[in-house]
Every structure is written in structure tokens, then in C-alpha cells.
Structure 1
Amino acid sequence: MRKRMGGVAMITAATFLAFYSLPSQKEEMAQEVSPHVTEDQVSNLLNGDAFVPTNQVPITLVEIIDGDTIIVRVKGKIETVRYLLVDTPESKNPKKCVQLYAKEAFLRNSELVKSGNLTLEFDLGNTEDSYGRLLAYVYVDGESIQGTLLKERYARVAYIMNPPYKYLEQFREDEGLAKREKINIWSRLNFLTNLGFNGCLP
């Protein structure tokens, strides 16, 4: 009994309860459900805590910078997190104007990161950028924030610096579907270029 969230197999409460209540069948059921389920995770779910996949790291939101960057507390340390593989219009870069749709991307990102439990997932060889910011996939309650921003036409796929990436093809698919609707960042001719976004608020 699984459902897919953010590309990670999530275990339902019913499965956990069955797993927890039948000690003699624990090993057999764990193999059927997931080889990564631990008794601590079972206990957390039964106590009402959020289930965190083993390849994700829980974080606490500290500040929202813009549509694709946040400041968080992770493992007791304050870190700036740049969303891996996506780019939204600029609103805080002192070298650039406030670009079209930057405020909308910021507001949508704010809604998302404040709507549930946040986690990070890192990609092999792509964990930090040249500014010392963490590069990561970011999830809220198991749903990809990058994926949502792409689907809702607030972000583009960008900064493919060190492939392969785990979710690049999925993001490209999300972006391809978004382009067809010609909404938000895809609504203006020549707004998107190979160098980024080309357009400022009046």
C-alpha cells in the first residue's frame, strides 16, 4: 500500500499500523513495503509525527529570499538553500531590476514553504554552489516544490551544471507541459532567453 509523493515511496498509515501490530510478520511485511522502513519511523507515525523518507532531511524555515531560494535550519545550522535545477525571475539581486513575475513567484513559493513540513533531498555531486548555498530538491509534505513551480509556470529548468541529475527528465516534462499553456513566465514573447529572464517591472 504505497503512494508516490515527490518521487519517493511513502508508506500509508494503514500499512504502518499493520506492520507495527504484527511483530511476528514485521520482517516479511517490511520487505514487501520498503527495505528502508525502521521501527523508529513506525513509532513516529503512531505518535502523530510526520514521516520523513530516509533520503530526505527535515528542515525548519527561517526566511524566504525569493522564488527559488530560502534560508533554513538544518541539523542545527542555518543554511541558504538554492532550489536545484530551477530558476525564477529575480527580485532581490542588486545587479538586476525586479523582473516580471518575480513577485508572483516569491508569493507562490512563500505559500508552498509555509504550508507543511519541509524536507531536503540532495543529488550526488550537486550539493553546494559557488556562493556556498546548499543545492537541493525541496519538498513540502512530500510534494516537490520545484515541480509545483514548474507546473504553475513560475519557474524554468536551468543551471544544469553537473549531470546526471535524478529528477531532470521529470522537471523537463513538467516544464514542457507548462509551456503549452502560455501562462505567467511563458505568456510573453522573448521573455525567456538562454541567459535567463529578459523583462523588468515598469
Structure 2
Amino acid sequence: MKFTNCNLAVTLAKAKCADRSPWTKTREQLGMGRRGDWATGRLGDWETGRLGDGETGRRGDGESPSPEVPQSPGPLVPLAPLPPCPPAPLLPTIVMLLLCFLLTSCQLETPPQGVKVKVERVVSGQTVEISNTQGPERLRLLGINAPDWRQEPHGAAAKEKLQQMVEGKLVLLEYDIKTQDNYGRQLGYIWLDGQLVQEVLVRDGYVLAASLWPNTKHEQRLDYAQKWARVQELGIWNAEEPLRLTPAEFRRRQEQQNNS
């Protein structure tokens, strides 16, 4: 039972200590009369008419109550309802991805080993032309898939970004397990000023992370970079103008349309 009146609670406590019914004593002290007529055993209060009439057995005699009856305590004020739980914020997710990205980028690892080559020309968002002692050769960048040049505006954007980064510059070419593809192109990663170029392209939303076995040396860091780009909705992950088809799916549909 909850009490909203402090005096009433104190009275009940004193009644309990006197080994009497707390409710009966409280009613007597407050002048509310007896709950029933102890002489007849009838339920009711002849003096106040509350809960019934001890003489007639009726539930009330319509008489005005005794002036000694105190006013009941004020109504309980309900507690304000708790506000609805807000949706889970994106901040913790972004912070976790940022930490993973920083840990991957800053972890102590063996510096890349490779050869210095000059990028003569950028062919697409994933292929460059390099010069070495044997003459110009094409290099397919490992770990990424760039949008097809017909997938506007993403195909052109990926090529332009790669041009800004490496065209006409010396880069470090790092090989993996397989060094040449079925088209005779070299396969490798390129580094510029200590940065993995493929990682920058993925992180900024220009290309997709796509490592193919057995060349998976930097698969984890490229996956983290792609998760970051997706959360930030950068480039091909922009909700207003996303890359709706992977490059392979896009080319397959183009071939189907040309053959139909």
C-alpha cells in the first residue's frame, strides 16, 4: 500500500506499535467512525453513513457525512512517461570502423618490397601503363575492381582519380603470389609516398575491394577501407547515385543486350 500523506503514514506506524489494527485506529483518530456496528454486526457507519447504514443495511442513507471527516489526500500525480528509446546512433559504428582502419593502417608491418617503376599512362580505374627495362607494359592493379568506363559517372571518376595520384610519377611496384594474368598483364600493388594506392581508391569510394585468390596479401585492409566508404556513403556508395551493378554484371548485361 502506498501513502501520499506523511501524517497518515506516521499514524499507522504508531498504531502498529500499540498492537492494534492500524486501519481501525486511524479511522477512529481521524473521526471517521467505525467501519461497522459492533453491537449488531451490521456493516456500515451509523454516524457517517459511509459504506452503508448500520440500522437499515442500506449502502448509504444519503445523509451528509460528518463534518469531522478530513478531506482525503490529493490525487496521485502520475509520473511522466519515459521518452521512447532513440534509434541506435551511427556514431559508435563509425568510431569502430575508424579504429579498425587506423589499426590496420598503423600496424607494425614489413615495409613493402618491390621495384621502382614510372607510370606513363592511366588506362582505366584499375589498369596503368608502366615503363621498365623491357619497355612499356600494362599493370593490372590487384585487390580492386573499378567501374566500367560506360558506368557513368563512376567509371570516369575512378580513372580521373588514379590519374591525379600516379600518372607521370615513380611508384613502388609490389608483387603478390601470382604476377601475371591470362591477358599477359602484370599484377601488383603500387605504393606512393608510403600509401597503398588501391586502399586510397577503395576508401574514397572510387572502386570496389575485390581480392582474388591467391593474391590476398592486402585483403583485410582493403575490406576495412570499403566498410568505411560504405558507412560514409562516398562515391559509388552514395545513396543518391550509387553503383547499381558490379562491373562484371554490367558487362554481362551489355553483352546480352548486344546479342538480343
| Alignment TM class, shorter chain as reference | 0.5 to 0.7
Task: Give the structure with the higher percent strand.
Answer: 1
Identity over aligned pairs, percent: 23
The answer for unaligned runs of 5 or more in structure 2 is 1-104, 255-260
2:224 equivalent among 168, 173, 194: 173
Q: Alpha carbon RMSD of aligned pairs, Å?
A: 3.0
Provide closer, same or farther for how the CA distance between residues 80 and 164 of structure 1 changes in structure 2, counting only shifts above 3 A.
closer
Structure 1 position 111 matched with structure 2 position 156: no
164-173 or 145-154, which moves further after superposition?
Answer: 164-173
- Post-superposition Cα deviations, 1:70-98, rounded to whole Å, max 9, x if no partner, equal 0001244321001101011122xxxxx35
* Change in 2 beyond 3 A, CA 1:110/1:155: same
- Aligned-residue offset at 1:169: 0.7
Once the two structures are TM-superposed, the CA of residue 154 in structure 1 deviates from its matched residue by 0.1
Q: Is the 8 A contact 2:119 2:166 kept in 1?
A: yes
Give the 3 Å change call, closer, same or farther, for CA 193–114 of structure 1 in structure 2: closer
Match of 2:142 in 1: 84
Which secondary structure does the structure 2 equivalent of 1:89 belong to?
A: coil
Mapping of 1:154-193 within 5 angstroms?
154-158=206-210, 160-163=211-214, 165-187=216-238, 188-189=241-242, 191-193=244-246
Q: Deviations over 1:168-198 (max 9, x none)?
A: 0111111111111112111145614484558
Q: Contact between 2:126 and 2:140, CA under 8 Å: does it hold in 1?
A: yes
Moved segments of 4+, more than 4 Å: 196-200
Distance in structure 1 (CA, Å) of the matches to 2:144 and 2:233: 18
Deviation at 1:99, TM superposition (A): 3.6
Rounded to whole Å, the distance in 2 between the matches of 1:193 and 1:57 is 32
The one of the two structures with greater contact order (alpha-carbon pairs below 8 A, sep at least 6) is: 1
Bigger mean CA offset, 97-106 vs 79-88? 97-106
Q: Is the alpha carbon distance of 1:109 and 1:85 closer, same or farther for their aligned partners in structure 2, counting shifts above 3 Å?
A: same
Map residues 92-103 of structure 1 onto 2, 5 A cutoff. 97-103=150-156
Q: Does 1:123 align with 2:173?
A: no
Q: Which residue of 2 aligns with 1:72?
A: 130
Say if 1:178 and 1:80 are closer, same or farther in 2 by CA, change over 3 A: same
**By how many angstroms is 1:117 displaced?**
2.9
Q: How many positions carry a matched residue from both structures?
A: 147
**Equivalences for 1:5-154 in 2 at 5 Å?**
8-9=110-111, 55-91=113-149, 97-114=150-167, 116-124=169-177, 126-154=178-206
TM-score by length of 1: 0.63
Q: Which runs of 5+ in 1 are unaligned?
A: 10-52, 92-96
